[in-house]
Amino acid sequence: MSARPSERAGRTTGSHGHGDGSAAGPAHAAPHRLRHAPSQPARAKQLRRHNLALVLGEVAAGGRPTRAQVAARTGLTKATVSTLVDALAAHGLVLEGDPDRGLVGRPGLPLVLDPGGPAGLGVEVNVDYVSACVVDLTGTVRTARLVPCDNRHLERLAVLDAAARVARRCAAEARRAGLTVAGVGIALPGLVGLDGILHRAPNLPGWDGLDVAPALAPLLEALSPVVASDNEANLAALAERWYGGDPSNRDFVHVSGEIGVGAGIVVGGALWRGARGLGGELGHVTVAPGGDRCGCGARGCLEQLAGQEAILRAAGVSVRAATALGTPDGSVQELLRRARVGDQRTLAALARAGTALGVALAGLVNVVDVPVVVLGGLYAELAPWLADPVRAELEARVVGFAWSPTELRVSRLGGHAAVRGAAGAVVQAILADPAGSYPAMLDAS
Ligand SMILES: [Zn+2]
Q: Which residues of 309-327 are buried (b: 16+ CB within 10 A; e: fewer)?
A: bbbbbbbebeeebbbbbbb
pLDDT band at 322 (very low <50, low <70, confident <90, very high): confident
19 pLDDT more than 60: no
Percent of the chain with pLDDT over 70: 88
The Å distance, Cα 189 to ligand 1 centre, comes to 15
What distance in Å separates the CA atoms of residue 233 and residue 237, rounded to the nearest whole number? 6
Looking at the fold, whether 206 and 288 belong to one and the same domain comes out as no
Whether 241 maps to a domain, the answer reads: no
Q: How many folded domains does the chain comprise? A: 2
pLDDT of residue 37: 52
440 pLDDT more than 60: yes
Looking at the fold, whether 151 and 196 belong to one and the same domain comes out as yes
Looking at the fold, whether 285 and 390 belong to one and the same domain comes out as yes
CB 117 within 8 A of CB 135: no
- Tell me which residue range forms the domain holding 404: 246-411
pLDDT of residue 23: 32
135 alpha carbon, distance to own chain's centre: 12
Looking at the fold, whether 299 and 396 belong to one and the same domain comes out as yes
What distance in Å separates the CA atoms of residue 295 and residue 303, rounded to the nearest whole number? 9
Question: Which of 131-145, 195-209, 221-235, 412-426 comes out lowest in average pLDDT?
Answer: 221-235
Looking at the fold, whether 203 and 258 belong to one and the same domain comes out as no
The Å distance, Cα 192 to ligand 1 centre, comes to 16
CB 174 within 8 A of CB 181: yes
Whether 20 maps to a domain, the answer reads: no
The Å distance, Cα 339 to ligand 1 centre, comes to 27
pLDDT in tens, 114-158: 999 999 999 999 988 999 999 999 999 999 999 999 888 899 999
Find the mean pLDDT for residues 21-47: 52
The Å distance, Cα 52 to ligand 1 centre, comes to 45
Whether 270 maps to a domain, the answer reads: yes
Looking at the fold, whether 268 and 397 belong to one and the same domain comes out as yes
**Which pTM value belongs to this model?**
0.87
Collapsed DSSP state (helix, strand, coil) of residue 118: strand
Higher pLDDT, 16 or 445: 445
pLDDT in tens, 56-72: 999 999 899 999 999 99
The Å distance, Cα 91 to ligand 1 centre, comes to 47
Whether 285 maps to a domain, the answer reads: yes
pLDDT in tens, 69-122: 999 999 999 999 999 999 999 999 999 987 766 555 566 899 999 999 999 999
Looking at the fold, whether 184 and 293 belong to one and the same domain comes out as no
The Å distance, Cα 395 to ligand 1 centre, comes to 25
pLDDT in tens, 215-249: 998 898 766 777 789 999 999 999 999 999 998 99
